[in-house]
Amino acid sequence: MKHLNTLVIGSGASGLAAAVRLNALGVKSLALYTEGLRMGTSINTGSDKQTYYKLGMYGIEPDSPVLLAQDLMNGGAVHGDIALVEAALSPLAFAHLAALGVPFPHDEFGQYIGYKTDHDPRRRATSCGPYTSRDMCLALIAEAKKNGIEIQEKRVAVSLLAVEENGEKRCCGAVFLNRGKQGEDALEVVLAENVVFAVGGPGALYRASVYPVVHTGAIGLAIGIGAKTRNLAEFQFGMASTKFRWNVSGSYMQVLPRFVSRAADGISDEKEFLREYFKTPEEMYDMIFLKGYQWPFAAGHVPGSSLIDLFVNREIVERGRRVFLDYRTDPADYDFQALSEETRSYLTRSGAVASTPLRRLERLNAPAIELYQSHGIDLSKEALEIAVCAQHNNGGLAGTIWWESENVRHLFPIGEVNGSHGVTRPGGTALNAGQVGAFRAAEFIAANGAEETLSLAAAEKAALETMDRLKAAWRRPALRNWKEERAKFQNRMSENGAFIREETLLRKALAETRSQLVALQEDGLGGNTIDDTVEALRNQQLLTAQILYLESILKQVLDGVGSRGSALVLSPRGERIHPLLPEEWKRLPEDPAFRSRTLTGRLKPDGSAEFVWESCREIPATDGWFETIWSDYRSKRIYGAHS
């Protein structure tokens, strides 16, 4: 057993930033444990123009922490104090990255230019190009290595350790499997005063997913020790390619590809299936064009461009077919002159009027073609398979304004695993929130958590109990194949717990998830390789998470939250969505009253779920006075009751 002051789990953009900041603030008994520096979402993903959202800092355009916090709150179901912190620290976190060499563009006067992203009234967004989060990781890895921060790779956390202390739960470390060893030798325990939990979003929950294949997430470990969650049901979904996972937003739609579906073999019986829903080809093309601007599925765009997502999903889930974007040809009846004025003028002004979607894409955005080429997909030779995929969880674990878990002390969920966002959010706030969370947790730990308060005897006892449980499982033979089990729950989640939500299906999915978890917990680990053991245990935490995700979605459906954000709730009481969709496709409208509440939840020790609707806290009125704030700062009163 190893003992540290602070253990950081996860090396995405947020975990790396936390390690770098903790070290800078003098926390030296520190290590970062991770599956690998090349794992996770941040270093493996990107988009057309991957966005980082921060306070405006260009020219004469005014901005302030409160204005930005208001826009973060406008998405609904967001606490004002947390929004204010994310806004107030955004320039600091951004400047940290820029100073480490992340190539955010600025002009000759050092002004960081911005652009407008979705849900953004100002030009606050910036980008380094398609791979902003990777650039952030590379700069942070270099800094961590330069500072000699201990980094342990090939370590997979399989359990979080917790003890009771003064009537409260506190986190005291984690149990890892070291992928470089075999059997029980692979078990490693790290006891820690503080655990920064930076394990990313729940990437392996859905089959249809645009999270990188290597990223599974580990929120289930925290849910398993009873940590509170917030807004778990608020996901973002959108169309993405599946062979190589990438959002097909922006130019991929604006060049008007052919949407075709084929039989389950992916070859035979090709159809332009969207045509059945539109009166004319032009009407269909105008909707596809609009989809480029309005990429994520949005309940507010039904009717509207999000109907395309529904039609695509219906083709796949209900009809068992596969859907492709074909850029190679236009159909015989494609008539540029018949398109809407907006579509024609955009393509004309972009110099992208040409005879096939691929030629239009070449002119509009050639790197978009090269991107697929560099991942072995030649758009001139094959059609691109797509699905409506899970992309980001706005919800996650519930944290304080210092990013400490609301009910598990000394556990600091940061990055995507922290549910600080609401129903919608300006694009790019995920990366900002991850950096701000890292700064806040590091500051709080450096100011309060450097002294040792943990009872090592109690922590060791908790560790030994977990190890005994794992060793007992090793003595029983492994009877189940983890890949088959994972496919089962991913399919279930994509079909019943994604962006189309309906009570009966959710109840059935929940029952199946609960019994699958029991079956896996009874199975053994004996005879497995270390990799199979890791994945078998990972399935258990993913299923634990799936239970609370499905419970949260069901709770929102039953309480009448209705269709909002990236989710459509079907109900016999709802309104018919489209005359050509089946009768039962009726959308329950949103009840806007829920925009001013957040849903917190937790799994109780008996496995049942408990939920509370909390009123959103207002943005604090902070008409401060320098001398009093200085005094509060010096005396550490700013850290509140827990300092």
Ligand X SMILES: Cc1cc2nc3c(=O)[nH]c(=O)nc-3n(C[C@H](O)[C@H](O)[C@H](O)COP(=O)(O)OP(=O)(O)OC[C@H]3O[C@@H](n4cnc5c(N)ncnc54)[C@H](O)[C@@H]3O)c2cc1C
Chain residues in the site for ligand X (CB under 6 A): 9-15, 33-35, 39-42, 45, 47, 50-51, 133, 155-157, 198-201, 210-211, 215, 217-218, 247, 391-392, 415-416, 427-431, 434
- Closest approach of Cβ 254 to ligand X, in Å? 18
Residue with Cβ nearer ligand X (14 or 552) = 14
The answer to whether the CB of 137 falls within 8 A of the CB of 13 is yes
**Given the complex with ligand X, which of 391 and 546 has the nearer CB atom?**
391
Say if residues 386 and 240 touch (Cβ distance below 8 Å).
yes
Distance CA 386, CA 377 (A): 13
Q: What are the φ and ψ backbone dihedral angles of 394, each rounded to 5 degrees?
A: -70, -30
Closer of 261 and 432 to ligand X (Cβ): 432
In this complex, which beta carbon is closest to ligand X, that of residue 352 or of residue 603?
603
Task: Yes or no: say if 137 and 43 are a contact pair by the CB < 8 Å rule.
Answer: yes
The gap from C-alpha 177 to its chain's centroid, in whole angstroms, comes to 24
304, 290 contact by CB (below 8 A): yes
Nearer to ligand X, 47 or 556 (CB): 47
What is the C-alpha separation between 268 and 264, in angstroms, rounded?
8
Rounded to whole angstroms, the Cα distance separating 564 from 290 reads 20
Give least dist CB 132 to ligand X, A. 7
Question: In the complex with ligand X, which residue's Cβ is closer, 10 or 56?
Answer: 10
The β-bridge partners of 533 are none
Q: Please, what is the minimum distance in Å from the beta carbon of residue 293 to ligand X?
A: 15
CB of 440 to ligand X, least distance (A): 14
Rounded CA-CA distance 30/246 in Å is 35
Of the pair 95, 458, the CB lying nearest ligand X is at 95
Alpha-carbon distance values, 553 to 235, 260, 497, 507, 588 (Å): 10, 31, 7, 10, 14
Choose between 245 and 258: whose C-beta lies nearer to ligand X. 245
Residue number, 357 or 419, with CB nearest to ligand X = 419
**Considering the complex, what minimum distance in angstroms separates the CB of residue 45 from ligand X?**
4
Whole-number minimum distance, CB 391 to ligand X, in Å?
A: 5
Cβ at position 543, least distance to ligand X in Å: 14
- Any idea what the Cα angle at residue 347 is, between residues 250 and 252, rounded to 5°? 25
What single-letter DSSP state applies at residue 564? B
User: Between 21 and 321, whose beta carbon lies closer to ligand X?
Assistant: 21
Closest distance between ligand X and the C-beta of residue 606, in Å? Answer: 25
Which CB, 523 or 535, lies closer to ligand X?
Answer: 535
SS3 441: helix
Least distance from C-beta 214 to ligand X, angstroms?
Answer: 8
73's tokens = 């709150």
Cα(502)–Cα(488) distance, integer angstroms: 19
> Between residues 201 and 601, which has the closer beta carbon with respect to ligand X?
201
Task: State the nearest-atom distance from the C-beta of 303 to ligand X, in Å.
Answer: 27
Would you say 180 or 477 has its CB closer to ligand X?
Answer: 180
Helix axes 13-24, 429-444, angle to 10 degrees: 30
Q: Where are the beta strands (DSSP E) in 34-73?
A: 51-53
CB of 408 to ligand X, least distance (A): 17
Give 279-331 as a DSSP string. Answer: SSHHHHHHHHHHHHHS-B--GGGTTTTTHHHHHHHIIIIIT--EEEEE-S---
Q: Smallest gap, in angstroms, from Cβ of residue 623 to ligand X?
A: 31
The amino acid occupying position 145 is K
> With 0-12 CB in 10 A as exposed, 13-18 as middle and 19+ as buried, what is 433?
buried
Show the 3-state SS of 133-180.
HHHHHHHHHHHHHHCCCEEECCEEEEEEEEEEECCEEEEEEEEEEECC
Nearest to 121 by CA among 73, 78, 188: 73
- Determine how many CB atoms are found less than 10 A away from the CB of residue 586: 17
Report residue 491 CA to chain centroid gap.
Answer: 19
Q: What is the nearest approach in angstroms of ligand X to the Cβ of residue 317? A: 21
